[in-house]
Structure 1
Amino acid sequence: MFLPAVRSDGDGQTQSPPVLQPSGLAVLVAGIFLSVLNASMSTVVLPWVQRDFGVRDDTLVWFVTGFLIPFAIGTLVYGRLVDSLPLRPLYTAGVLVFAIGSLLIAVAPEFWTAAAARAVQGAGPTALPAMTVPAIVRAARESRRPRALGTVVLAVGFAFGIGPLAGGALAEWQGWRAPFWVTAVAAALLALAAGRWLPPLPGRGRARLDGVGLGILAGAIATAVYALNRLSKAGDDPTVTVAGASALVLWGGVVAATFVRSEPLIPRDLVTNARFAALCTFGAMAQAAHFVAVVLLPLYLARYEGLSAAATGLWLAPGAAMLGLAGIAAGSVAAGGGTQRGLVWSGWGMLVAAAMLHLLAFGWPRWGVAAVYAALAASFGFANTLTLRAVATEVPERWVGTGMGAFNLAFFLGGAAAAALAGSILELQAERTASWDPFVSAEAVEFADAALVALLAALAGFAAALAYPRLPRGTGTTWRRPPRWKPNRVP
């Protein structure tokens, strides 16, 4: 982790770096809270976005993936920039983009304008998680860092807990656009506060960003997500084949650029770190499993149960609250040295909950659906906190910002890809009465089959959690076998 460094003024005298005051910490915490609240509110309103614009299920998913793709890429970009550029203007710029994107969504006249505005919105709040932890580590006094980081975790948990309730209530009151109006106003106020109260942390040198690699990566992501989203139309739409082939070529270009260019977008030390790769895989698959549920459940509750926006938010709120509480509890587990064991158990919990979602939940009453989501969300919240803690221990100090950005890139891409594939399956199975899985007997077979994406993702994540402690530590050229993991024993 970064340690505050002293700076020298023109007379050769040393100056202490800016100290993070309570007002500055409040800005950082408010930013994380607003970012998570926006994500939690926006999925609840999906059925009413679909109803307002009259789009199909696979098209509706772009309202989600349109946000996630720039958010995922932005975590990597901001992760690189925060290591080099001053904090205050960079953070303020991200919040202003967040506000502008939210406003554009609120006034969008048709669906694709709203989806494009979601992309603009996604490019803004991605700055907030990428900068918050480095800012606390660099500017907060060492004795106050644990409390400051704990406050951030509490804000995340609280935002997840009230997000579905707030989104549903606002949508019930003034329509699905209301949460985005609120977000736009709140982000504008946050930008003013950031410009005034954030510590003026200086940059650490020239920002080195591989523009070519970034362009190839963005193309690879966009074509892959498009191909997954349009998979149900592969026989009739030649663009699906073109996009799939382009994605393979571009992902090959990403790999080549990483090992050929002198300063690649993602440092080779990270790419060749087997344990870091396992954590990225686990995080991506956990996000995939959870995000499929977050997209499917509001649509199911509105379509099959006939629930209003407020009622949908109410039934999903216990799961969101469990997510936040489990994330907070996981912090204590990590502090006690139980990270590796916790990853395995949380991965197992997600696997069991995803299996129940696929096999049973879409034939159960609404309380059963809420219970399954609560189990899945709790496991995800626990896994997310532990994974972030593990990533911080695996990334070299000089690559903290970039490493967290690379992890978040994989994390959110997992959600985007899974949501795109689930939307395609939902559209493909919409008119069918029999599930692909003979063990599924639910009436809503299209939702059960789409939830199969969550089950397969959870299975892959569990495998990555089992592999993580057994993998060698370090890069491909400096591997060393880690000590064998043993459970903590109380003397």
Structure 2
Amino acid sequence: MTNAKEFNPKVIWAICFILLFSVMNVTMFNIAIPAIADEFALLHSEVSWVTTGYSIIYALGSLTYGKLADRFPLKRLITFGILLFCFGSIVGFFAQSYGMMLVGRFIQSCGASAIPALAMLIPARFVPQAHRGKALGTIASTIAFASGIGPIVGGLVTGAASWNFLFLISLGTLLTVPMFLKWLPQEQVRAGSFDAVGGALLGSGVVALLLAITNYTWWLPLLSGTAFLGFGLWVRRKKDPFIQPKLFRVSGVVAGLAICFLSGMAAFGVMIVVPTLLSDVNGLSPLHIGLALFPAAMSAALLGRQGGKLADRRGNGFVVGLAQALVLAGLVLLSSASGHAAWLVSVSLAFITVGFSFMQASITNHISRLLPREMVGIGMGTFTLINFLSGSVSGAVMMKALDESAGWNAFNPLALDAASGFSNVFLAMALLVVLNLWLVHRAFRVGPQGRSAALQQQ
């Protein structure tokens, strides 16, 4: 490991700067989805690839960059990621068709996925342990802040100009390249190998699965199942596979990842669908959609730290259960508020964002405590992968459900008929959270001494 004395604390501020653009790049385009759909005359399921495709690459890329960091200098990897991110932004800005816009978006994601992976590795590798918590806290605050202002920036730019100009904002990350080249310590290339076959099989399985959700082609599920089967057989034979199979043999890890996946399904998908609801049903402009989403994002930013403190006092199991209850309440309220005033949608969404922020902090803490020290890096990389994949699947499923449920009556009697499809989708996600609450009860079941079995392992 590089000597911590060589580390320049200014790097943390450079990390925060690029994270600001990376996180905003996700939330800004959520706002632009209705405008993109209108311009290219797309179905909900078709336009969802703006965020779904981005999330797939982001998920696989984050784990890939994390594994590459075991061999290559972080200075080299993060510079490559920024340059690729900006190249994709230029392609997207000049795109004249939906297909070319997606190409730019996907290239963006290939570069942007380096940012969250390396933003956590740089403090872990270089910052002295006595100051590491402060550095990570600063990074976490930046992510929360960016999530809050992203919808507003997206609404302003889309409303004043067009969605193309959202791509130009990301070029601001170029300003940090000289900083990283100057301030990051020098490292040597280390020996090792990279499981490209395993990564390709996993990526093929995920992409085929999502295409199968949005298209009724018979061979896509077969292709997806074959790729996943091939991936499972491959990692058992490979000495250093893309994902270590022994990770899933650690007691409690599979249940924790399942809880994480179902939670992400509910929360991430809602953030993709709500802007479409506010545009199609409430008739809001992109700017007003951003303003409607702002209170929910900032509520999560302001209250997220309290969830971590509560987990220290009451345990991770308590906070995970509380988080799921908040998300469930938010989804039921959102289903009821569909078609009504936008402020009711905004209030309902705040329950979901706060609950999800509580969930992220507590389940991350729980899984990291379950893992042996030598597997924490692999485990956190897999956790990040599952987290982003859940958003990809959820976005595709929920947008396809909106297309298929057009003309249906609302199951929730409080929702207005104009928003029946949205209300039904939110209600279906609420049932998913009920299933997750059952998993939480099983994973954190209370033992004879009054503490959960999972907490006793910690």
Is the structural similarity TM-score above 0.5? yes
Paired amino acid for 2:442: A
What is the match of residue 203 of structure 2? Answer: 218
Residue number among 347, 362, 365 corresponding to 1:386 in the alignment: 362
Q: Which amino acid aligns with 1:29?
A: C
The CA distance in 1 between the partners of 2:112 and 2:432, in whole Å, is: 26
Which structure 2 residue ranges, 5 or more long, are not aligned? 448-452
- Which structure carries more helix by proportion? 2
Counterpart amino acid of residue 331 in structure 1: G
Q: Tell me the distance in 2 between the aligned counterparts of 1:97 and 1:280.
A: 30
Is the 8 Å Cα contact of residues 28 and 155 (structure 2) preserved in structure 1? yes
Task: Decide whether the 8 Å contact of 2:29 with 2:166 is kept in 1.
Answer: yes
Q: Secondary structure of 1:175's partner?
A: coil
Q: Is the Cα contact below 8 Å between 2:260 and 2:387 reproduced in 1?
A: yes
Match for residue 153 of structure 1? 140
Shift of 1:329: 2.3
Which of 158, 172, 176 is matched with 1:171 structurally? 158
C-alpha displacement at 1:413, in angstroms?
0.7
8 Å contact kept, 2:443–2:454? no
What is the rounded CA distance, in whole Å, between the counterparts of 1:412 and 1:133 in structure 2?
Answer: 16
**Do 2:316 and 2:455's aligned partners in 1 also have CA atoms closer than 8 Å?**
no
Instruction: Provide the residue aligned with 2:443 in structure 1.
Output: 468
1:229 to 210, 214, 223: 214
CA–CA separation in structure 2 for the residues paired with 1:441 and 1:313: 23
Matched, 1:445 2:420: yes
How far did 1:274 drift?
3.8
* Residue among 182, 188, 209 paired with 2:174: 188
Normalising to structure 2: TM-score of the pair? 0.92
* Alignment deviations for residues 62-121 of structure 1 (CA, whole Å, 9 cap, x no partner): 111110111111122112122332111011111211111222222211111112221111
Residues 273-312 of structure 1: CA deviation (Å, up to 9, x unaligned): 2422222222222222112211111111111111111111
Please give the alpha-carbon distance, in whole angstroms, between the structure 2 residues aligned to 1:338 and 1:413.
27
Q: 1:286 to 1:189 in 2, by over 3 A?
A: same
Q: Distance in 2 between matches of 1:42 and 1:228?
A: 22
Which of 238, 241, 254 is 2:231 aligned to? Answer: 254
The structural deviation recorded for 1:33 is: 2.2
Corresponding residue of 1:285 = 262
User: Contact 2:7–2:183 at 8 Å: present in 1 too?
Assistant: no
SS in 2 for 1:363: coil
How far apart, in 2, do the equivalents of 1:121 and 1:324 lie? 26
From 343, 347, 358, the equivalent of 1:371 is 347
Q: What SS does the aligned partner of 1:124 have?
A: helix
The amino acid of 1:112's aligned partner reads G
1:265-344 to 2 correspondence within 5 Å?
265-336=242-313, 338-344=315-321
Quote the offset at 1:438 in angstroms: 6.4
Partners of 1:265 and 1:447 lie apart in 2 by 38
Between the aligned partners of 1:31 and 1:463, the Cα distance in structure 2 is 39
Correspondent of 2:324 among 321, 344, 347: 347
Write out per-residue CA displacement over residues 118-144 of structure 1, whole angstroms, 9 at most, x where no aligned residue: 111111221111122221122111111
Residue 450 of structure 2 aligns with which residue? none
Shift of 1:225: 0.6
Distance (whole Å) between structure 2 residues aligned to residue 291 and residue 365 of structure 1: 22
Farther off after superposition, 316-325 or 389-398? 389-398
Q: Is the 8 A contact 1:18 1:201 kept in 2?
A: no
Match of 1:94 in 2: 81
Which residue does the alignment assign to 1:49? 36
1:414 has 2:390 as partner: yes
Look up the equivalent residue of 2:223 and give its one-letter code.
S
Question: How do 1:199-214 and structure 2 match up within 5 A?
Answer: 199-202=185-188, 205-214=190-199
Query: Any residues of structure 2 matched to 1:127-138 within 5 Å, and which?
Result: 127-138=114-125
In structure 2, C-alpha distance between the alignment counterparts of 1:137 and 1:441, rounded to whole Å: 48
1:367-420 CA-partner distances (Å, limit 9, x unpaired):
111111111111111111222222332333333333222111111111111110
Tell me if 1:401 matches 2:387: no
d(CA) in 1 for partners of 2:48, 2:455: 44
Give the AA of the match of 1:468: A
Letter in 1 for 2:214: N
Query: C-alpha distance in 2, partners of 1:300/1:198?
Result: 44
| 1:424 partnered with 2:400 | yes
Deviates further, 92-101 or 310-319: 92-101
Offset of 1:207 from its aligned partner? 3.7
Return 5+ residue gaps in structure 1 as ranges.
7-15, 473-480, 487-491
Pair 1:198–1:42, CA change in 2 (3 A): farther
* 1:29 is aligned to 2:16: yes
Residue 295 of structure 1 aligns to a residue whose secondary structure is helix
The 2-side partners of 1:276 and 1:76 are apart by 18
Query: What SS does the aligned partner of 1:434 have?
Result: coil
Aligned-partner Cα distance in 2 for 1:152–1:175? 30
Is the 1:418–1:453 Cα contact (8 Å) retained in structure 2?
no
Q: What secondary structure, in the 3-state scheme, does the structure 1 residue paired with 2:111 have?
A: coil
Distance change (3 Å), C-alpha of 1:141 and 1:328? same
One-letter identity of the residue aligned with 1:197? W
Deviation, 1:212, is: 1.6
